[in-house]
Amino acid sequence: MDALSHYLARPWLKYYQKGVAESVEVPEISLPQSFDNAVTLGGDRNAVVFYGREISYRELGDATDRLACALAALGLKKGDRVALYLLNSPQFIIAYFAVLKCGAVVTPISPVYTSHELRHQIEDSGACAAICQDILYDKIVKSGVRLDFTVLTNVGEYLPMLRRLLGRGPLGKIFSAIHVAAPQIRPAPNLHWLQGLLKKYPAKAPRVAIEPKTDLAALPYTGGTTGRPKGVMLTHYNLIAAQEIARVYTPLFDPGREVVLAFLPFFHIYGQAVIMLNNLAQGNLLLLFTNPDTEAILTAMERYRATVIYGVPTFYEYLKDHKDTGKVDWARMKLVLSGADTLHESTMQEWEKRTGSRITEGYGLSEVAATSHINPVDRPKPNSFGCPAPGMSAAVLNAETLQAVAPGETGELVLWGPTVMSGYWKRPEETAQSFVELDGRRWLRTGDIVRMDDEGYFFFYDRTKDLIKYKGYSVFAKDVEEVLYAHPQVKAAGVIGVPDPSVGQLIKAIVVLQADARGKLSEDEIRAYCRAKLAEYKVPQLVEFRGELPKTDVGKVSRRELRDEA
């Protein structure tokens, strides 16, 4: 049997959780059709709870249809791109589906972007309009971009009556941190307020023919780890396929009855596809937060009896030590999922010891609508990000020869399946370089170094760009970080390669110590600890202590920023 045959045989299928199908049937419908189906079935059942404000599926659907009608009247047409420059809020959901109902394409933008970064995404995507949080509008003005129109909204529009909550209970401090008061924005002909449009226009969305397999729905931008951010072209079919995969691999879910924590940013593909789209399609209830405030989250979990949590490793690392974590009934949780970064084994073990629940690790990226792998809930493996999800196929190739390597050997992960993007926006050369032909199929090159074991479980080693070359040796930053995280006095760590003409790259560890260890632990002691657990060539030559590490928008350590600083 040649190496590729091992992957094509899909050995992981025999280890799927009971009730999980081997494949998925993807209906050729659009995202607006899927949303309308959910609204019809959901009716007066709550779709969202936003800091105590309950919004039903019917109300959400009505607002979406009204805004779609307004956007069409303002000139939005099929194929146009619209920037969503919004915090997590009901308005994000309303705007998202309203744009799609016009046949247009959403391109969500990070609220923390500078005006320079904002300008790049708007100009690169060719967005003709923006739906924007009023407190962010100044960045649009400073960017100098030209838009046909902008729709503004204030976060307070969907909060409960503040006089009942401000200063009372655990939600009080959250409200005080949210900018509810609208900034002074001068009226302009191309400037509209969302609530004014909802009052002016009827709930009659335009009728637009959408071809699910070819028409784009979303244009999320990658984080710019290989140059400037670039748009990922996701069709309606890609995102509907992601919904079907999510439905199939969660057989314990009771659609319409799950209560889901939604604090990860919706502009990011993880929050957008895995949390927002997938759970609304199933008719579940989203407990929506603008930011991951742990006290508010833990309070809401108990009040609304949450059953599902989607997080990132840094969130679980923090929550496992929180004083109120023990107040939650973790036995009620059907899924505690971690994605977007590597989950350290020490975090998983301490979490299970504290809560009695188990974190399930998954893997995905924007180019596959967020999810390609997940651990079987009843048979996870430590340090593995799991098996390919139903309908997805994966293989490991030698990054230089593009030939498959045998199970157990490391190489570049490639993916095939119904969620794989059609390409990068206006970048045909980069698109061509990101795919490889295997067995008559077009596989996506992820740039991630992994291995697959004999049972079809995959293990992450590093991004190809994070591989450190020291004296000819290949050193995975993750291996060194794993050792550092196991040190009882280390709170966080990032490892990078620093160019050095004599050895290629020096290994540098940037370390955040626990509060009571700061000033008491030396660089030499960190190196000695690593030397006891790692081969000599993997021991960091450089150690730097810091109070905090730069993070990406979803909370993982940004090695790119650490490299840029070095």
Which DSSP helix (H) or strand (E) runs through 129?
Answer: strand 129-133
Could you give the dihedral angle defined by the CA atoms of residues 291, 295, 301 and 302, in that order, rounded to the nearest 10 degrees?
-160
Q: Where are the alpha helices (DSSP H) in 325-375?
A: 345-355
Task: Please choose, from the candidates 278, 282, 276, 321, the residue with its C-alpha nearest in 3D space to the C-alpha of residue 298.
Answer: 321
Whole-number Cα distances in Å, 152 to 127, 134, 254: 16, 5, 36
Q: Which tokens sit at 206?
A: 């335009």
Distant-in-sequence, close-in-space partners of 282: CB < 8 Å, separation ≥ 6 = 38, 246, 247, 253, 255, 256, 258
Please, which pLDDT band fits residue 553 given cuts at 50, 70 and 90? Answer: low
Confidence of residue 160 (pLDDT cuts 50, 70, 90): confident
Task: Please give the average per-residue pLDDT across 517-543, as a whole number.
Answer: 90
- Residue 60 one-letter amino acid: L
> What is the C-alpha to C-alpha distance for residues 356 and 346, in angstroms, rounded to an integer?
15
Q: In the prediction, which pLDDT does 167 show? A: 39
Whole-number pLDDT of residue 29? 98
CB 55 within 8 A of CB 46: yes
Q: Which residue has the tokens 């404000």?
A: 53
In which residue are the tokens 């940013």 written?
A: 265
pLDDT of residue 168: 40
- Identify the pLDDT of residue 455: 97
Question: Measuring CA to CA, which residue among 485, 119, 499, 110 is closest to residue 270?
Answer: 110
The pLDDT of residue 170: 40
**What is the distance between the alpha carbons of residues 313 and 130, in angstroms, rounded to a whole number?**
32
Share of the chain above pLDDT 70, in %: 94
pLDDT at position 179 over 70: no
Angle, helix 90-101 to helix 31-42, in steps of 10 degrees: 130
Q: How many helices (H) and strands (E) does the chain have?
A: 19, 27
Domains in the chain, CATH or no CATH each: 3-22+393-462 (2.30.38.10), 31-43+51-209 (3.40.50.980), 471-565 (3.30.300.30)
Average pLDDT of the chain, as a whole number: 90
Q: How far is CA 218 from CA 211, 397, 529, in A?
A: 14, 29, 47
Identify the pLDDT of residue 532. Answer: 87
**What is the pLDDT averaged over residues 303-319?**
90
Q: What is the pTM of this model?
A: 0.85
| 44 sits in which H/E element | none
Q: In 3D, which of 338, 332, 299, 301 has the Cα closest to residue 317?
A: 338
Q: What is the pLDDT of residue 313?
A: 85
388 membership: H or E segment, kind and range: strand 384-388
Helix (H, G, I), strand (E, B) or coil at 8: helix
- Confidence band (pLDDT; 50, 70, 90) for 332? very high
Please state the rounded mean pLDDT for residues 73-94. Answer: 97
Q: Are 91 and 153 in contact (CB under 8 A)?
A: yes
State the Cα–Cα distance between residues 404 and 8, nearest whole angstrom: 11
Q: Which of 99, 186, 113 is nearest to 143 (CA)?
A: 113
Alpha carbon distance 33, 37 (integer Å): 6
pLDDT score for 470? 81
pLDDT of residue 116: 87
The answer to whether 314 and 556 are in contact (CB under 8 A) is: yes
In the beta sheet, which residues pair with residue 98?
A: none
pLDDT at 476 > cutoff 50? yes
3-state secondary structure of 178: coil
Residue pLDDT, tens place only, 416-471: 999 999 999 999 999 999 999 998 999 999 999 999 999 999 999 877 777 787 87
Q: Does position 475 have pLDDT exceeding 90, yes or no? A: no
Q: How far apart are the first and last CA of the chain?
A: 46
Interatomic CA distance for residues 280 and 31, integer angstroms: 11
Whether 319 shows a pLDDT value over 70: the answer reads yes
